[in-house]
Chain A
Amino acid sequence: MTNEALIPVVGVITDIRRDTPDVKTFRVVTPDGKKAFEHMPGQCAMLSIPGVGEAMFSITSSPTNTEFMEFSIKKCGCVTSWLHSCEVGQMVTIRGPYGNGFPVTKDFKGKNLLFIAGGIGLAPLRSVINYVRANRADYGTVDIVYGSRSMDDLVDFKEIQEEWKNEKDFNVYLTIDRPQEGWDGHVGFVPAYVKEVNIPTDRTAVLCGPPIMIKFTLQALLELGFEKTQVFTTLEFRMKCGIGKCGRCNVGDKYICKDGPVFRMDQLEELPSEY
């Protein structure tokens, strides 16, 4: 590979789905209707709109989806706002895949898995959850604890309700921060819910969400008896090149774009807390 990698290919947005008031899921294929490239769960891609900018996004769809890629994107900056305002048929540029992805063929294989997500943090986990569903025999029990500010902020609610909940040996625990009309499920923050559910410590855990949620959920897991070596997370950082050269995502002796974004908690402990 060379840094021809910095030169993207063209992609077309073929579907836009509104997940929450500020999250939309975009389906992207090449102009001839194919997937732009293959990837592994947890890997990322650079999307750009010429003149607006380029930004790194987690690929939300599972690699087992052979037809297209999806990106669940929260509106928060220049590129994301622009994407939120565009229509089906809009071209973007895309390059990737970047990063290490989740160790689905190594550490995860044969294990019972626990996925914990907050808000848009479900986006990178959706890829691996659906990968696990597609390769169901390779993995044990799957527990999913997912929380959001409100019912409306739960990403992929439909897929969770209609598909994940019905999957064999899948336990889905949903929670929202405050009581809301029409919600008869659990109310409370994710870290507290994790402790309440009292998930057995034989799981390999994957955490994704806002930094504050990660911090307290990790604490909750440790209190439950989990080891840091059992807990994985995926980091968000500003990136430009995606191939460990531009220096932007350098933290300690790691580059988030190529050595990450997935790290085990004990690995993160050896890094400066600048992420």
Chain B
Amino acid sequence: MKKIALSNIDLLYKEIAGAQELYLPVKVAGATNFKKFEDGVEVDIKSLQTVKSAKDLFFPQSEDMMEFKTSGKSIEVIDARKKAEPFVLFGVRGCDLKSFEVLDKVFLAEPVDTMYQAKREAVTVVTLACNNPETSCFCKVFGVDASNPKGDVQATIVSDEMHFEALTEKGEKLLSSLKCLEDCEGKGVEEEKAQIKEKIDALPFVNLDLTNFKGENLMELFNRPEWEELSKACLGCGTCTFVCPTCQCFDIRDFQTNAGVKRFRCWDSCMYSEFTKMAAENPRKNQMQRYRQRFMHKLCYFPSNNDGEYGCVGCGRCVKKCPQSLNIVKVIKKLGGNK
């Protein structure tokens, strides 16, 4: 194992960033999100959670796919996909790491999404154990151990030091390349993990019961009358979708530039009224139906197609960010209950 004093941690960022691009939680105008490390940025490694998840490092909010040159009746298609350079993603929490597995099931399933795959292969993930899990966290319900998040390298803060353990070849390569780290025994790491586990067990949502969410009772869940009440206050915005680490719906759109047409893909939300709108009709006409789709997808449709794996990792971002305090916890409690 290796370690560094938190007071020197800037040295670590600089050394990593000297060799490849480094993305980590950075605070800009009061909000912390994964951003590129550059001189002068305010790294915010201590706050538990970024507003946006880390998914946009692999599946950016908008991404160019191709360009078209048109003249008269003719069209030329130009591939605009960018090559992915190796990069380090630092400070990923257990929930977000788990979300990569969920996203993999969509993007790496045949036919493989090469834009996503290239970035997934280019990354070295350094996770960070959650010293202070929050009330809104319920990752344990989805099988995540936030004290032991894994990844290529796993980092744990023990008092004023950060300890690192390489878990993959990639992780080994990264750690061994960093001169600012010193070797250590990992003293206190296990104790810290045990403490974190205790904290997690005491959180209010760790006993959510998922047993009612399975593929077989799809229609029963779909037809539950509670959806009406659960969705009543929904504004139809995309906040939950866009802060969610597992939401992966996208749109493909064209953008007219002076030089031609750019075709890009961008995040989309099943909460938006025009998500399923066709020229003649819209199969999901009201917000209740759209709201139900989002949660049914995560708790029922996705597991039905993926050997019982849920499309939620319990990060609690929707709990914290929904403008009107609607969230998946309320859905699970209403339709599933507590253990």
Contact = CB atoms under 8 A, between A and B. Distances in A.
B75 A10 contact: yes
B107 interface: yes
Interface string A229-248: 00000001110110111111
A273 to B, nearest CB: 9
Contacts of B256: 51
A92 B219 CA distance: 41
Interface in B78-127: 79, 106-107, 109-115
A76 interface: yes
Interface of A: 1-10, 50-54, 76-78, 80, 86-87, 89-93, 211, 236-238, 240-241, 243-253, 270, 272, 274-275
B329 to A, nearest CB: 22
B284 to A, nearest CB: 6
A68 to B, nearest CB: 17
A240 B261 contact: no
Contacts of A89: 73
12 contacts: A1-B111, A3-B113, A51-B68, A51-B261, A54-B252, A241-B252, A245-B250, A246-B249, A247-B268, A249-B276, A253-B301, A274-B283
B36 interface: no
A246 B68 CA distance: 22
Contact of A272 (B222, B252, B261, B305): B222
Nearest to A241: B252
Contact of B249 (A8, A9, A247, A274): A247
Residue of B107, B115, B254, B297 with highest tally of chain A CB at under 10 A: B254
A245 B284 contact: no
B77 A51 contact: no
A10 B276 contact: no
B142 interface: no
B199 interface: no
B301 A238 contact: no
Size range of the chain B interface in the assembly = 35 or more
Given A10-B76, A50-B263, A92-B75, A2 B112 contact: yes
B109 A244 contact: yes
Contact of A253 (B215, B279, B283): B215
A151 to B, nearest CB: 22
Interface string B250-270: 111110100011010100101
A80 B280 CA distance: 12
Contacts of B263: 50
A149 to B, nearest CB: 15
Contacts of A270: 218-219
B278 A236 contact: yes
Given A10-B76, A243-B111, A274 B284 contact: yes
Given A2-B111, A246-B268, A272-B219, A91 B74 contact: yes
A10 B74 CA distance: 9
A80 B279 contact: yes
A7 B276 contact: no
B278 A10 contact: no
Given A5-B111, A10-B76, A246-B252, 7 more contacts: A10-B75, A77-B279, A90-B73, A93-B68, A246-B249, A246-B265, A250-B301
